[in-house]
Amino acid sequence: MLNKAVLPPGLSKERFAAALAEYRAIVGDQWVLVDLDQLTPYSRLMVPDDPLNHQPCGAIAPVSVAEIQRILAVSNKYKIPLWTISVGRNFGYGEAAPATPGQMVLDLRRMNRIIEVDPVLGTAVVEPGVTFKQLQDYLVEHDLPFWFNKPAPAPVVGPMGFTLERGMGYTRYQEQAQNFSGMEVVLADGSVVRTGMGGVENAKTWQAYRWGYGPWVDGLFLQSNLGIVTKLGLWLMKRPASHVTWAAGFADMKGAARAVEMLRDLRMDGVVDNGMVFHMSYGVALTQRRADIFKGPGAIPDAMWAGIAQQAGLTVWSAAGTIFGYPEQVKVNLAILKKSMEEIGGQFITEQQVSGPASIMFNNIKMITTNELSLEDFAIFNYRGAGGAWFAPVIPAKAEDALACYETMQRVLSEYGFDYIGGYMIGYSGRHFDAATILLFDRDNPEELQRASACYNKLVDTCAAAGYALYRAGTPLMKKTADIYGPAQKALNARLKSALDPNHILAPGKSGIA
């Protein structure tokens, strides 16, 4: 796929060769990759862009903090930027490719130990390469009564990237940024900091209490290039005694917007822990190929979605989630939820009552909101032809904003001939929703690829202008997104960057921090 090797910016071939020799002496020859075919996995993009903008000069895979420290010394000496990845499968946003060309990918997949699980407190200490599958296997093997917060493609990704990229989960814990405690971070100069209670000798609370004493620095290492996180404390979710997956159908976006407000109130009242509101296009895209259902030009018209829904006995919009707890808690909360959803016109149903075409959607909701691991969500990339990129502006949990954001996205997508496929995911406090939307396109069609890129950029701008900014951005969109957050944040980030990484060797361009 790649045609020609690239060098680190400003470095001669000879100097790079000298640096590679030093890197090899640290990790061994086989863990320094520079051949073009070896670098292909580190060059893929989800959001369409010119691959040359993101081609790495190589990749290096250390196995310990000590090796990372030595790699940093070499990188500081030669000024070779390091683009750190954990499992490197940030599907939907960026995969493993660096923000700018010529960076060396620092691949931490080999550091994959589950260092400790506290069976009483339900906490775990993990290294960057640990996957959710591995964590689940560990919990099963040790018969520990815990689940964990996880994203949709959980089997092949891991808690480190999920946490550091501020992913959104669907269990009781939802926003992962609220649910971790303590890090070990290697700074650009090789110094190691254990945050929070981890600084205290013999601390018994590194994973139990997250805030420590004095300024809380952990936030600095989220969506960041200010350090390399090598250990992370996770809060596991206690396995609930029981759970019931539910859904409420709504005929149109106005109903969906009412559901957003209702979920907000129910969350603030402690009735639900999680919840989402989504368009039926999501379910269709998961199970069908677009070419089989629509031949016309442009986006699938609203009327056709309504027709598909009617034929299948489904509604165009649904709210859904899973209620967890002791059976008597579930019963009471489910009754409040049912009454609330019916009051705003929702057709309420639980997993016990479902049958027919809705079962597929129910299984999917149940899978992502419980501890099942599945790659079924990946089927969505087949809808149009291998291409897809997530796009999730943040909205306040108000009907008017749910409506306005949907209409904005729908209009822009239609303009470029793409379908609206997505929904709204409730945030931790109930006060915001992620308007999670996936732009699906045919990766093998150059014209469509270019159109997708233009559309994605237009979506970012148009939503931001309406007050709905992204909380996460694919690699090609990082600079644009950081610009949207304004000059003051940019200037502060630049000062922090210069203080902690004066040679700018850690992932330049990450989150728009150059």
Site for its own copies in 61-120 (CB under 8 A): 118, 120
Supply the minimum distance, in Å, between the C-beta of residue 337 and its own copies.
11
Token pair belonging to 257: 């917007």
Residue 203 touching its own copies (CB under 8 A) = yes
User: Taking the CB of residue 17, how many other CB atoms lie within 10 A of it?
Assistant: 12
Note whether 123 binds its own copies by CB under 8 A: yes
Question: Which span sits near its own copies by CB under 8 A: 66-74, 199-207, 250-258, 371-379?
Answer: 199-207
473 lies in the site for its own copies, by CB under 8 A = yes
Residue (of 373, 361, 364) closest to 149 by Cα position: 373
Of residues 397 and 409, the one with the C-beta less far from its own copies: 397
Choose among 510, 514, 442: nearest CA to 472. 510
Min. distance of Cβ 51 from its own copies in angstroms?
24
CB burial readout 148-171, b (16+ within 10 A) else e: bbbbbbbeebbbbbbbbbebbbbb
What distances in angstroms separate CA 341 from CA 46, 282, 351, 429, one per listed residue? 36, 21, 16, 20
Q: Contact region for its own copies (CB under 8 A) — 58-66, 105-113, 442-450, 492-500?
A: 492-500
Q: Is position 472 an interface residue for its own copies (rule: CB under 8 A)?
A: yes
Residue (63 or 271) nearer to its own copies, CB: 271
Residues in binding contact with its own copies, number by CB under 8 A: 105
What minimum distance in Å lies between the beta carbon of 478 and its own copies?
9
Query: CA 5: distance to chain centroid?
Result: 30
Residue 364 binds to its own copies (criterion: CB under 8 A): no
Q: Residue 298 CB, nearest distance to its own copies (Å)?
A: 30
Residue 238 near its own copies by CB under 8 A = yes
Helices (H) and strands (E) in the chain, counts: 15, 20
CA pair distance 53, 64, nearest whole angstrom? 30
| DSSP characters over 397-465 | S-HHHHHHHHHHHHHHHHHTT----BEEEE-TTSSEEE--EEEEEETT-HHHHHHHHHHHHHHHHHHHH
Binders of its own copies among 9-68, rule CB under 8 A? none
The answer to whether residue 195 forms part of the interface with its own copies (CB under 8 A) is yes
Closer residue to its own copies (CB): 313 or 467: 467
Residue type, 83: W
Q: Take residue 7 and report the two structure tokens written for it.
A: 């060098």
Instruction: State yes or no: residue 6 binds its own copies (CB under 8 A).
Output: no
Counting beta carbons within 10 angstroms of the beta carbon of residue 193, is it exposed (0 to 12), middle (13 to 18) or buried (19 or more)? middle
Q: Which stretch binds its own copies (CB under 8 A): 251-259, 322-330, 373-381, 409-417?
A: 322-330
C-beta of 454 vs 492, nearer to its own copies:
492
282's torsion region: left (phi>0), alpha (psi -120 to 50) or beta? alpha
CB of 301 to its own copies, least distance (A): 29
Q: Which positions from 155 through 194 interact with its own copies, judged by CB under 8 A?
A: 166, 172, 175, 177-179, 181, 187, 191-194
> Where does this chain touch its own copies (CB under 8 A) — which range of 45-53, 201-209, 243-251, 252-260?
201-209
Beta bridge partners of 118: 123
The residue range among 8-16, 37-45, 447-455, 468-476 that interacts with its own copies, by the rule CB under 8 A, is: 468-476
Q: Is there binding between residue 343 and its own copies (CB under 8 A)?
A: no
Contact code string over 205-234 relative to its own copies, x by CB under 8 A: x-xxx-xxxxxxxxxxxxxx-x--------
The stretch near its own copies (CB under 8 A) out of 23-31, 49-57, 324-332, 370-378 is 324-332
Closest CA to 61 of 36, 86, 91: 86
Stretch that binds its own copies, among 60-68, 77-85, 200-208, 356-364 (CB under 8 A): 200-208
With vertex at residue 30, the alpha carbon angle to CA 28 and CA 31, rounded to the nearest 5 degrees, is 75
Nearer to its own copies, 78 or 221 (CB): 221
Q: Restricting to residues 419-448, name those near its own copies by CB under 8 A.
A: 427, 429, 431-432
| E-assigned strand segments in 175-264 | 180-186, 192-194, 228-235, 237-238, 242-250
Among 200, 291, 375, 454, binds its own copies (CB under 8 A): 200
Q: Are 182 and 207 in contact (CB under 8 A)?
A: yes
Q: Which is nearer to its own copies, 234 or 438 (CB)?
A: 234
State the minimum distance, in angstroms, from the CB of residue 157 to its own copies: 19
Q: Which residues contact 283 (CB under 8 A, 6 or more apart)?
A: 314, 360, 361, 364
Q: With binding defined as CB under 8 A, does residue 342 bind its own copies? A: no
Among 335, 375, 386, 454, binds its own copies (CB under 8 A): 335
- Touching its own copies, residues 270-309 (CB under 8 A): 270-271, 273
> Scanning residues 376 to 395, which ones bind its own copies (CB under 8 A)?
394-395
- Beta strands 104-107; 82-85: pairing state: parallel
Nearer to its own copies, 401 or 448 (CB): 401
Residue 498 burial class via C-beta count within 10 angstroms: exposed 0-12, middle 13-18, buried 19 and up: exposed
| Closest separation in Å from C-beta 78 to its own copies | 23
- Distance between CA atoms of residues 440 and 92, nearest Å: 10
